[in-house]
């Protein structure tokens, strides 16, 4: 009798364990089925995304049709992300496609406007994909100098608004990573000038004038472009070294001033916020003795509301010119 009780107890205790084992089998089967479904969904959507992206890049496709193809490709890549959140590749392809279509205009669609005016929502969407790609594949060799440079530009373009300071800091981080790597070789030494100048301008956006002045001087060791000299002059003026600033611009002459304006007008050079350009124009005109033009351009800068931390300096420059003009007429 005692033995039977023990046997019954053993069966009773063993029954839940057997049921649990069966449950584990079904659970594993379901997990396997889910994994297979996720794999198939991922692969199908990656194929669809690639097909739509390839069609969008065709020169035979109209701009409006390309926009729809880009939309479908992005949807497919983002469905692939949902199916396999651990995979970096759909983020890379989605970010690159949207950047080409909405920011860089390499894929010419109706969603990309020439010049500095880009959709902030699309820029943030590109950054979200690129950041996710880096997070999931931090050692991928495609996180190269061009990737970092283009991402820094996007952060710079977004360097206004409620999170402007954070965007600027992110741009500084990417530029500094490029410099620390020391391997930005696409355009040789001249590209070092661009990187260092962009970094200097980015520092100036958040009031780091010492770093900006040093950065522009470093940039000029590699590339003696008018924009680099003008950037240095503006940083010096904002640092209350106005006489030196005007000497630099005056030495470049009228031809450089007009060429610089043409570059900005044709979007070869852009500033964030856009009204920032008037500070450069105004200081250039003033250095050449174009008093009325300079006063007008200082007004343009003040009216734009750009760079609030430098508005007082611009107002002082404008007022000094107005007083000089009044003395000349008396």
At residue 191, the pLDDT reads 82
Mean pLDDT (whole number) for 17-34: 50
CATH number of the domain within which 78 lies? 1.25.40
At residue 184, the pLDDT reads 56
Residue 186 maps to a domain:
no
Q: Tell whether 139 and 240 lie within a shared domain.
A: no
At residue 16, the pLDDT reads 42
- 200 neighbors 212 (Cβ within 8 angstroms): yes
Helix and strand numbers, DSSP H then E, in the chain = 13, 0
At residue 31, the pLDDT reads 54
Residue 49 maps to a domain:
yes
Using a pLDDT cut of 70, give the percent of the chain over it: 84
Q: Tell whether 42 and 139 lie within a shared domain.
A: yes
Q: Distance between CA 228 and CA 218 in Å, rounded? A: 10
Structure tokens at 233: 């002059």
Q: Tell whether 234 and 324 lie within a shared domain.
A: yes
pLDDT band at 105 (very low <50, low <70, confident <90, very high): confident
Residue 134 has pLDDT above 90, yes or no: yes
Residue 18 maps to a domain:
no
- 286 neighbors 243 (Cβ within 8 angstroms): no
Residue 185 maps to a domain:
no
Q: Which domain holds residue 275?
A: 225-330
Structure tokens at 70: 């880009």
Residue 218 maps to a domain:
no
Q: Distance between CA 309 and CA 253 in Å, rounded? A: 28
Mean pLDDT is lowest, of 1-15, 16-30, 141-155, for 1-15
Domain end among 83, 111, 143: 143
Residue 1 maps to a domain:
no
DSSP secondary structure letter of residue 101: I
Domain end among 123, 143, 163: 143
Using a pLDDT cut of 90, give the percent of the chain over it: 67
Domain end among 124, 143, 162: 143
At residue 243, the pLDDT reads 97
Residue 3 has pLDDT above 70, yes or no: no
Q: Tell whether 36 and 134 lie within a shared domain.
A: yes
Count structural domains, the chain. Answer: 2
- 72 neighbors 109 (Cβ within 8 angstroms): no
Residue 166 maps to a domain:
no
Mean pLDDT (whole number) for 216-243: 96
Instruction: Give the model confidence (pLDDT) of 55-96 as tens digits.
Output: 998 877 787 888 999 999 999 999 999 999 999 999 999 999
Residue 216 maps to a domain:
no
pLDDT band at 177 (very low <50, low <70, confident <90, very high): very high
At residue 253, the pLDDT reads 97
């Amino acid at each position: 009798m005692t033995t039977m009780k023990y046997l019954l107890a053993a069966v009773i205790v063993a029954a839940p364990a057997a049921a649990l084992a069966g449950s584990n089998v079904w659970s594993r089967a379901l997990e396997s089925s889910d994994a297979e479904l996720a794999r198939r969904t991922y692969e199908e959507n990656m194929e669809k995304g690639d097909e739509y992206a390839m069609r969008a890049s065709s020169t035979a496709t109209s701009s409006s049709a390309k926009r729809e193809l880009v939309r479908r490709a992005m949807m497919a890549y983002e469905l692939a992300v949902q199916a396999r959140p651990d995979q970096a590749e759909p983020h890379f392809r989605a970010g690159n496609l949207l950047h080409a279509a909405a920011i860089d205009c390499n894929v010419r669609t109706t969603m990309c406007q020439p010049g500095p005016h880009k959709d902030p929502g699309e820029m943030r969407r590109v950054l979200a994909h690129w950041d996710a790609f880096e997070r999931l594949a931090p050692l991928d060799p495609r996180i190269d100098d061009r990737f970092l440079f283009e991402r820094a530009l996007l952060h710079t373009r977004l360097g206004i608004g409620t999170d402007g300071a954070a965007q600027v800091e992110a741009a500084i981080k990417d530029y500094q990573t490029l410099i620390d790597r020391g391997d930005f070789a696409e355009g040789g030494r001249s590209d070092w000038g661009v990187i260092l100048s962009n970094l200097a301008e980015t520092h100036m956006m958040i009031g780091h004038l010492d770093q900006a002045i040093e950065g522009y001087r470093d940039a000029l060791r590699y590339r003696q472009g008018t924009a680099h000299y003008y950037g240095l002059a503006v940083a010096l003026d904002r640092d209350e070294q106005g006489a030196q600033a005007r000497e630099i611009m005056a030495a470049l002459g009228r031809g450089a001033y007009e060429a610089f304006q043409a570059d900005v007008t044709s979007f070869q050079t852009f500033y964030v916020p856009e009204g920032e350009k008037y500070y450069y124009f105004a200081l250039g005109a003033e250095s050449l003795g174009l008093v009325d033009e300079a006063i007008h351009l200082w007004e343009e800068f003040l009216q734009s509301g750009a760079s609030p931390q430098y508005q007082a300096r611009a107002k002082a420059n404008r007022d000094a010119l107005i007083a000089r003009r009044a003395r000349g007429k008396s």
